[in-house]
Amino acid sequence: MILVKDLNFKYGEKTILENINLNIEKNKFYSILGPNGSGKTTLLKNINKSFEPIKDTIFIENEDLYFIKNKELAKKVSWVPQNTIIDFDFSVMDIVLMGRNPYINRFSSESPEDLKIVEESMKITNTWHLKNKNIKELSGGERQRVIIARALAQKTDILLLDEPTSNLDIYHQIELLDTIKFIDFNMTIVAVLHDLNLASQYSDYIILLKDGKIISIGTPEQVLTKNNIRLAYSIDVNIIKDPVTLRPHIIPISKKLIENNFYNNSKANSM
């Protein structure tokens, strides 16, 4: 579905991605993890052609990204950026209708089929009741769902999301990931996440980055190990098995808290 071969990327003289090789399977949920500055968003932006592609490096459905026209790419890949702030006075319906732009000829209007797809996408994301509202009046969580509805309305086989759960409370994080994970659209999903436990629960595969290089790629059980997490984040953790999903559950270890609790317990016992 997505093949990345020896991808290297620089901002000026600074190397951001180095020798990235990926073979992303169809209809799977991939999470990209790693500390700040590890190249997660840059990797997504290379795949969605935000940066000028290098020939023979990234392939979408066996087609070299270098040769794919932007309008055709928009029929293959939909993109939900981290920043979803919109400064224009569009209605929610207008925003989601933008997802149909790749299929509408210039100077033409949307068809009944386009409107049907938009309604379906909005109902899936629980935004249909917001259709007549101004996008600027929505909360952050509502706006995020609208942008995802727009991406679903594109009817692509690949959905890329950059930190879709940032600035959401835990209820809306779960609601959003449930929507993405269990959507009946047969999509390949690649999402940048920060929460290791959410990635563990929802991902089929995890890509772990550090300093622009892949440390590990595989199932949550294969990637989320004590050694890998220590290498990526410079922190020690305990790992237990979630009793419901049987996936790894990560518990960070604070040495300072341990030392403080030991000191307080020792002090209490000495009294």
- Find the CATH number of the domain harbouring 182: 3.40.50.300
Flag whether 82 is in a domain: no
Residue with the bigger pLDDT between 135 and 83: it is 135
Q: pLDDT (tens digit, 9 = 90+) per residue, 182-241? A: 887 789 999 999 999 999 999 999 999 999 999 999 999 999 999 999 999 999 999 999
Within a domain: residue 83? Answer: no
pLDDT at position 11 is 87
Instruction: Say if residue 36 is in the same domain as residue 142.
Output: no
Angle at 156 between CA 154 and CA 160, to 5 degrees: 95
pLDDT above 70 (res 269): no
- pLDDT tens figures, 13-32: 899 999 999 999 999 999 99
DSSP, collapsed to helix, strand or coil, labels residue 239 as strand
Q: Is residue 4 part of a domain?
A: yes
- If asked whether residues 72 and 166 sit together in one domain, one would say yes
In a domain, 250, yes or no: no
Return the exposure string of 4-22: e unless at least 16 CB atoms fall within 10 Å of the residue's CB, then b: beebebeeeeeebbeebeb
With a cut of 90, say whether residue 56 has pLDDT above it.
Answer: yes
Does residue 144 share a domain with residue 10? no
Neighbours of 257 (CB within 10 A): 10
Number of domains in the chain: 2
Q: Is residue 52 part of a domain?
A: yes
Whether 43 and 165 map to the same domain: the answer is yes
Question: How much is the pLDDT for 156?
Answer: 94
pLDDT of residue 262: 53
Q: Residue 7: its pLDDT value, please?
A: 95
- 171 and 133 housed in the same domain: no
Residue where a domain terminates, one of 114, 132, 154: 154
Claim to verify: residue 177 and residue 67 sit in the same structural domain: yes
> Which residue is associated with the tokens 């509805």?
149
Whole-number average pLDDT of the chain: 91
- 129-159 per-position pLDDT tens digit: 999 999 999 888 888 889 999 999 999 999 9
Residue 263 has pLDDT above 60, yes or no: no
CA distances for 229 relative to 35, 187, 195, 235, 239, angstroms: 10, 28, 12, 7, 10
Do 56 and 166 belong together in one domain?
Answer: yes
Within 8 A by CB and 6+ apart from 17, the residues are 7, 8, 9, 39, 42, 43, 46, 212
Asked if residue 170 and residue 230 are part of one domain, the reply reads: yes
Range of the structural domain that residue 122 is part of:
93-154
For residues 13 and 95, the model is more confident at 95
The verdict on residue 119 lying in a domain is: yes
Same domain, 149 and 167: no
Distances (CA, A) of 90 to 60, 146, 182, 198: 32, 12, 29, 32
Work out the pLDDT band at 268, boundaries 50, 70, 90. Answer: low
* Pair (123, 162) in one structural domain: no
Residues 203 and 102 reside in one and the same domain: no
The most confident of 86-90, 101-105, 159-163, by mean pLDDT = 159-163
